[in-house]
Amino acid sequence: MSWKVIWEFVWVTAGVVLTALGLDMFLIPNKIAAGGVSGIATIIHYVTGSPVGLTMLALNVPLFIMGIYRLGLTFGFRSLYGTVSLSAAVDLFEVFAPVPTRDPLLAALFGGVMVGLGLGLVFRYRGTTGGTDLAAAVLRTYTGVNIGQLLFMVDATVVLAAGLVFNSWELALYALITIFVTAWMIDLVQEGISYTKAFYIFSDRAGVIASKVLHDLGRGATALKARGLFTGSDREVILTVVNRSEVGRLKEMVYQVDPGAFIIIADVREVLGEGFKEPEPGAGGI
């Protein structure tokens, strides 16, 4: 086994631990069933008293069987490891994990942050915890519906079921907050905070602007061939990526050269390469 694979499993394990702690410290004790297999297991726990982790594992078994039948052995050992370890960690940490708050809003927010951070790490390092992601993939083979839509439908059904079982629509609303916070944190972990901006610069003096970007700003630039549909004239569009601190300087530089320039500035989630972020050891395929 290569060091790269070991590195990935270390981070997947860290993600599993954070996810389990988020469930045990915030969501499960406050009856917040925020969708997915963990939400179903939370409802069953309060109805029957069965351990949440064991219930999660039991719910995942038929999903794995269906997954093998419909999708083949494509999710492999990583899925098995993530699913079993999360189920075990939830029941293990439940014994000693503190419950910092009984305020459902705080629990929904902080639980969503911890679970989202944990799942974000799991997904970033190419792991999975089974659950509704796998269920949606299986259902798609029968229905052809978009996976995102299926995940939303499954989560919505779990939240509605929690509201009925716990006889509290407030808890259902708190669960919705957790779902949105979790999704936001997963995206944040996988894509990062936007500290960089992409500039698309449309100008008749593109060559002069590109020279200033290269030599005065010290950034790379790419000339894209374009044609104005209104004028029918060909021109070059300059594409460059800069740090947030360089945005004002670049705008001033462009308008000094060409006051009539047209600029589009877009957020960039992540930039890998020279002058920006170096690729992580676990990045890329095997």
Query: Does residue 224 sit within a domain?
Result: yes
Domain final residue pick, 169, 191, 213: 191
Residue 283: pLDDT band by 50, 70, 90 thresholds?
A: very low
Residues 156 and 239 in one domain: no
Residues 106 and 37 in one domain: yes
- For 146, the token pair is 């978009």
In whole angstroms, give the CA distance from residue 48 to residue 63. 22
The better pLDDT of the pair 150, 96 is held by: 96
Q: Give the orientation angle of helix 52-71 with respect to helix 132-143, to 10 degrees.
A: 30
In the predicted structure, residue 120 carries a pLDDT above the cut 90: no
In the predicted structure, residue 131 carries a pLDDT above the cut 50: yes
In whole angstroms, give the CA distance from residue 286 to residue 265. 35
pLDDT tens track for 164-175: 999 989 999 999
- Given this model, what pLDDT does residue 285 score? 37
Query: Does residue 281 sit within a domain?
Result: no
Residues 27 and 145 in one domain: yes
Q: What would the mean pLDDT of 18-35 be, rounded to a whole number?
A: 94
Q: What would the mean pLDDT of 126-143 be, rounded to a whole number?
A: 69
In whole angstroms, give the CA distance from residue 106 to residue 16. 22
In the predicted structure, residue 2 carries a pLDDT above the cut 50: yes
Counted domains in the chain: 2
- Given this model, what pLDDT does residue 34 score? 87
Domain final residue pick, 191, 223, 248: 191
The better pLDDT of the pair 132, 121 is held by: 121
Query: Does residue 286 sit within a domain?
Result: no
Of the candidate ranges 2-6, 51-55, 201-205, the one whose mean pLDDT is the lowest: 2-6
Query: Does residue 181 sit within a domain?
Result: yes
Collapse the DSSP code of 229 into the 3-class scheme (helix H, G, I; strand E, B; otherwise coil) and give the result: coil
Residues 255 and 127 in one domain: no
Query: What is the pLDDT of the chain when averaged over all its residues?
Result: 83
The better pLDDT of the pair 73, 214 is held by: 214
Query: Does residue 131 sit within a domain?
Result: yes
Domain final residue pick, 133, 163, 191: 191
Q: Give the domain range for residue 114.
A: 3-191
Query: Does residue 279 sit within a domain?
Result: no
